[in-house]
Amino acid sequence: MGAERFDWLAQASPDIRKRLADCLTETERAEFAYHWPFWARDAQLAPAGDWRIWLVMAGRGFGKTRSGSEWVRMIAENDPNARIALVSSSLGEARAVMLEGESGILACSPPERRPVFEASRRRLEWPNGAQAMMYSSAEAESLRGPQHSHAWCDEIGKWSLAHGSATKCWDNLLMGLRLGDEQKIMVTTTPRSVPLMHRLLASEKTGSVITTRGRTTDNKAYLPPSFLSAMESEFAGSLLARQELDGELVDNIEGALWSRELIEEGREKANKASFTRVVVAVDPPASAQGDACGIIVAAQDSEGVAHVLADCSAERASPEKWAQAVADAARLWDADRVIAEANQGGEMVESVLRAANCSLPIKLVHASRSKTARAEPVAALYEVGRVRHTGLFAKLEDQLCGMMPGGEYEGPGRSPDRADALVWAITELLLGRPQRPRVRNII
C-alpha cells in the first residue's frame, strides 16, 4: 500500500497538497519524510505475530536494504537497551551499504535522531543509548562472545562459503542472541542456492522463520525505467533472472559439473590484474537457424588464474555476423589469439573469420570427445579457484549448471554453445602445454 499512498500524494493537485500540509504542525512536517509506515509497501513492513527470524528474499532493487535500515531504526528508537548486530559479507560492505548507502541507516534517520558512527569501534550509537555493531561473516569468530538483542543480516547468499564460514557465523550469532525480552533477526538477501539459505527456508515449517518474497518490479515506482529496461534486455528468460530479479531460489541440478555456489565463489566485480594472454573462443553454430554461436573472451593473469571477461555470443546469426562479432570482441579486448572449434568445417570457419578482418592468429581445435567430457577438467579448475567470472554472465552460467558428467546436457536450450566456447578458452589458457623459453641461437 505504501507505493499507492505515495502515488496518490504525488498526483494530488497543489491545492490538496497545500491543505494537507496546512493541517500538519511544524514537527509533523519535519517528521513526515521519515515516517516509514506511510512510504513503505506492505511487504517492506515487519510481519505481525510471534516470529524469531524475518527473511526478506527478493530480487535486486526490491527495497530490501531500506526495509532493513528502517527496521533497525525502529528497534533502536523504541528500545534504548537494544544491542543490534549488523552482519554483512565484509566490514566494507556493511559500512558502504547498511550504514552509509543511499538506503542505509544514516540516510534513513531524522537529523535529530541520527546515530553517531564510531569507525574505530565499528559501532553506531543512538541519542537514547541504543547501539549497533558491525560484523563480517568472513570473521565468524568475531561473533563468538558478544551478546545482542537483535540482528540484521544482509545478503547471506554472498557470505563466504570457505571452511563453512557462513554457517559458523550464523551459529555464533544465534548463540549470542540472548539480551532483552524478545530477540529477533531480520535477513535481507537475493536468493542463492547455498546451505544457509536452505536451512532458513526449511525452518519455515516450524514457524520460527517468516519469509517475505518479492520481485524487482514490485518496486518499479522507485526504480528508473532505463534500469528496468536494461535488466529485461540483458537477463530475460534466463535462470539468473528468476534468481536475481524474481527473487526465486534456483536449485542446482543434482550431479551437474558446475553449481551456483561454485560460480559465486569465483565471482569478482572487476579485475585489476595484468593479463599475460587474452583469447577469444568460438563455438560456431551448424546453421544460422540453429543454436547460438558461442563467443567467450577469457584471459590469464601472471598468477596462472583465468578470468572470464565477456560473453559476446551471437543468437541466430549468419556466418558473416558471428564472424564479425568475433573480430569485434578480439579488437575490443586486444586478444592474442582466436580459438575456434572446427568440427563444423575447419576451412570454412577460418575463411569466414578472415573475411571479417580477423587478422589474429587463429587456432582451429577439433572435438574428439563430447562437450561435457571436455568440460570436466575445466570444472575441476573452478573447484580449486583457478577460474573467476568478472561480472555476471546469465546465459553462460545457466548452461554451465546444466552440464552433466558422462556426456549429458540438461539445458537450458538444445546445446551448451556458450559453455563449450568457455571450455575451449580455459583449456587453451590453463590446460594446454606451457610455453617454455627456448634458446634460439648460440653465438
State the helix-helix crossing angle for 319-332 and 346-355, rounded to 10 degrees: 60
- Other C-beta atoms lying within 10 Å of the C-beta of residue 128: 14
The grid cell for 272 is 585489476
Task: Please name the CATH architecture into which domain 33-222 falls.
Answer: 3-Layer(aba) Sandwich (3.40)
Query: Residue 433 is placed in which grid cell?
Result: 602445454
Residue 191 in grid coordinates: 536468493
Write the pLDDT tens digit of every residue in 104-158.
Answer: 999 999 999 999 999 999 999 999 999 999 999 999 999 998 999 999 999 998 8
Average pLDDT, the chain: 86
Q: Which helix (H) or strand (E) segment is 278 a member of?
A: strand 275-283
Distance separating alpha carbons of residues 211 and 201, to the nearest angstrom: 8
Distance (Å, rounded) from C-alpha 147 to C-alpha 164? 22
How many angstroms separate the CA atoms of 82 and 85, rounded?
A: 10
pLDDT at 289: 61
Cα separation, 303 vs 221, whole angstroms = 46
Distance CA 76, CA 73 (A): 5
Structural domain boundaries in the chain:
33-222, 260-431
Q: Using one digit for the tens of pLDDT, what is the confidence trace for 42-77? A: 999 999 888 999 999 999 999 999 999 999 999 999
For residue 290, how far is the Cα from the chain centroid?
31
Q: What amino acid is encoded at 339 in this protein?
A: I
Q: Could you tell me the fold of the domain covering 260-431? A: Nucleotidyltransferase; domain 5 (3.30.420)
The rounded distance, in Å, linking the Cα atoms of 295 and 323 is 10
Q: Is residue 206 predicted with pLDDT exceeding 70?
A: yes
Supply the pTM of this predicted model.
0.65
